Amino acid sequence: MAPHLPDEIISEILSPFLHVADELFSDTSNISPFSNNARSSSKSLLVCKQWFRVATPLLYKVVILRSTAQAIALAATLKAVPELGRFIKKLRVEGGYGACMNTILKSSPNIRDLCLSFAIWSTDNTSGLCKGLPLINPRRLVIVDNLDVRNNKHLDALEETVFACLLSWNNLRILGFPYGLSVFGHTHWMLRASNLSETLVDSQLHTIVLNGDFCRREPEIPRFILSLCNIPALGTLQFKRPFPQRHYHRLLAHIDLTPRLKLLAQYTIDSEETKTMSPDSTPSHFIPMQSASEETQEIVWKRVIFFAMSMGTASAPPVPWERSPPSLGILTVSKYFHRLALPYLYECIRLTPENCPKITRLLQDRPDLGSFIRRVFTCHSGRHLKADSINAILSLCRHAHNLEVFAPHPFEGYFTNGSLPVEGLALLAANAGHSLQHLSVHLDSEPPSQVPISGSVLESFIALRVLAWRSSITMTGGHGLHPDSFQSLHTLSIHSEGTIISRLLTDVRLPCLRALDLQLYITGATDKSGLVGFLRVHGHKVLRLSIFPNLSGPSGDFRILDLCPNLTEVALLGPCYFGALINSAPHNSLTKISARQIPDQRDMAEMAFNPAMFPALRDIHVDCLAWPTTERDISKSHVVPMAEALLRHNIKITNGEGRSWTPRLKIQRAAPGGRRSRA
């Protein structure tokens, strides 16, 4: 049996795990830094009796209270084991939490650091705080306030008690002052700031930490801050947030206007200057890689230039003449660098209506540059292309023989449609069909063409892995596409005006198809029969599916999950409605459902579904979801009860940051004749 480690060593091991950083404890942000803390530090006490004995003082050293249930649980614990209260050195209270706060404060005589919140709503109860605060004598007090909270009787009672304690606490030396320039325009905040500063004039404070913001377009020092200089014992007035360099001189001028403030003020400057290294002026005759072969030198310099031109991180960099001067300067170093850098310069083209004429002239003068182009991203809005855009796209389709990507630019907030002239499809097939891997287009014709396109054109794209198709133009192919077409196609996206492609690909084998993106609504029997026929043939191959929530037919005979039995992930292109996921039998493969947002509370019935029909489901991911961070917001949230109900089925709801909901401590209602219990 291994010998036990000494308590001192166990304490050193557990201290980092149980430690709460002081910058978090004293944080005065509107959103508490502890609102996202899903880790339970008390689990370390369950390892063994020795760990329980050693970790208990460390656990109670810093106590953070964020809900009434936590406060009631702590009060009951301190009432049962009073000696635990002597371990509490720091206490942060983020609400009122009722009469139990009196028990906590009365049982904690060694509190040195106290953080109190003035974000007290009318539904809170501060009676316990008002009774208990005079019983302690902290060394530091940090006050947190919220702009949204207006004065009410509970907040007024707490303020009155705190103001009285500021004068009676003879150990108090440090105060965290929460107000800054943000009080202007908010009468209730200005009143609280003025009342606090006037009360402090008679205190024995030595240090005041100004947690507010003093940097705006017109930075200044508010009058209620200046009145703090009248505190006789005050030695330091510390501005916690650094002064931006652009406001430094103006803020310093305000400070210099008051000699007492100039004597007390402590501040730092957040420099925005970037440090540059001066080159070594000592002449050097060293030639890099002089002894290496020409082949090795070229490989190394190509790699250096690749990263120097920012090609290694940007998926869609700007067009060549929009690059930063340092990137373009590499081409002027020498003819050798120019030759190596030229392919990287034209590897990716970002096509906009403004630069289309330049692209056309460039390829007319230098058609050889087309061989360097690998990716073309279009940034055209509107339904139809203009003449300059058509000419530029056709020039690219004609000269870019090694093109790998033709798609809309992935530019968030910019509407692009990937328009391609009808004749451009044939040019792409003829010139880049052997290399094109990603084709995302909306076939454009103005006026709309009545001439059908031969479906056999698509057979030329032998390397295609991603196809996003949007076109209402009729396609013909006689006997249809060859069954062995699109051998490498992995992802297929069908838009509202592209359902014809599903009928065209029904008889193609598509051995690598794994992802299907259906950005369409079923508008007629023809579209429906074509899509259903496609899914009956290829649905069993699809692992990832994207659909609109109302894609399923109203009659219920069109069930996506029944046609795609091996799906592992479904993305709903809109709110998290499960109407499109009706299935006749349990789906044993689906592990993740994604959506853009949670429905409003009035539409929650549309989100209801039976977890028993999804035995493998573990994650419902919602991009636009912000978890509530305060007890008040949690009680008003309609998502939290649903998340906690799904957790009982081992299903998590996660937001865009990948965070799932962690259930909070709750107070269960007492049964008739019974006692209230904690859960």
pLDDT confidence of residue 609: 73
pLDDT at 477: 53
Of 48-52, 164-168, 606-610, least confident by mean pLDDT is 606-610
Angstrom CA distances, 522 to 154, 496, 548, stand at 57, 8, 10
Q: Is the pLDDT of residue 129 over 90?
A: yes
If you average pLDDT over residues 82-111, what whole number do you get? 92
Contacts of 582 (CB under 8 A, 6+ apart): 552, 556, 559, 561
Segment 129-137 shows an average pLDDT of 93
Residue 257 class from Cβ within 10 Å (0-12 exposed, 13-18 middle, 19+ buried)? exposed
- What value does the mean pLDDT take over residues 329-345? 85
Give which of 220, 222, 210, 140 is closest to 177, Cα–Cα. Answer: 210
Task: For 527-550, write each residue's pLDDT tens digit.
Answer: 677 788 888 999 999 999 998 876
Quote the CA–CA distance of 199 and 165 in Å, as a whole number: 10
- Between CA 144 and CA 435 the distance in angstroms is 61
Residue 525 in this model has a pLDDT that exceeds 50: yes
Asked if pLDDT for residue 519 goes beyond 70, the answer is yes
Give the pLDDT confidence score for residue 678 in this predicted structure: 40
The percent of residues in the chain predicted with pLDDT above 90, rounded, is 28
Specify the DSSP element, H or E, that contains 9.
helix 7-18
Q: What is the mean pLDDT of residues 407-432?
A: 75
The CA distance from 310 to 487, in Å, is 33
Q: What mean pLDDT comes out for the span 240-261?
A: 81
* Statement: the pTM of the whole predicted model exceeds 0.85: no
pLDDT of residue 360: 92
User: What is the predicted pLDDT for the residue at 312?
Assistant: 45
Query: Has residue 315 got a pLDDT over 50?
Result: no
The whole-number pLDDT of residue 558 equals 66
Q: What is the DSSP string of 263-317?
A: HHEE--EE--PPP-PPPP-S-----TTTTS-HHHHHHHHHHHHHHHTTTTT-SSP
pLDDT band at 247 (very low <50, low <70, confident <90, very high): confident
DSSP per residue, 429-494: HHHHTTT--EEEEEEE-SSPP-SPEEGGGGGG-TT--EEEEE--S-EE-TT-S-TTS-TT--EEEE
Maximal CA-CA distance, the chain: 96
CA pair distance 638, 652, nearest whole angstrom: 15
Burial class (CB in 10 A: 0-12, 13-18, 19+), 667: middle
For residues 36 and 302, the model is more confident at 302
Three-state secondary-structure class, residue 511: coil
**Lowest mean per-residue pLDDT among 4-8, 233-237, 497-501:** 497-501
pLDDT tens sequence across 464-483 = 999 988 876 666 654 467 88
The secondary structure of residue 540, as a DSSP letter, is G
* Residues 394-404 pLDDT 10s: 999 999 999 99
Instruction: State the pLDDT at residue 527.
Output: 62
Residue type, 187: T
Residue 522: what pLDDT? 63
Strand residue runs (E) in 352-401? 375-378
**pLDDT category of residue 556 using cuts at 50, 70 and 90:** very low
pLDDT value for 415: 44
Q: How far apart are CA 182 and CA 281, in angstroms?
A: 51
Pick the residue with more confidence: 219 or 353?
A: 353
| Phi, psi for residue 678 in degrees, rounded to 5 | -105, 145
* Averaged pLDDT score across all residues of the chain: 81
* Cα gap 439→461, rounded to integer Å: 9
> pLDDT tens, 570-605?
998 877 777 667 778 889 999 999 988 887 766 565
pLDDT at 174 over 50: yes
Q: Is the pLDDT of residue 555 over 50?
A: no
pLDDT for res 671: 43
| 104-123: average pLDDT | 91
What's the confidence (pLDDT) of residue 364? 92
Query: For residue 157, what pLDDT is reported?
Result: 92
Q: What is the pLDDT of residue 598?
A: 82
Q: Which residue is it, tokens 């330049």?
A: 358
Would you say 94 and 65 are in contact if contact means Cβ atoms under 8 Å apart? Answer: yes
**Res 320: pLDDT:** 44
How far is 424 from 390, CA to CA, in rounded Å?
A: 9
Rounded Cα distance, 553 and 488, in Å: 31
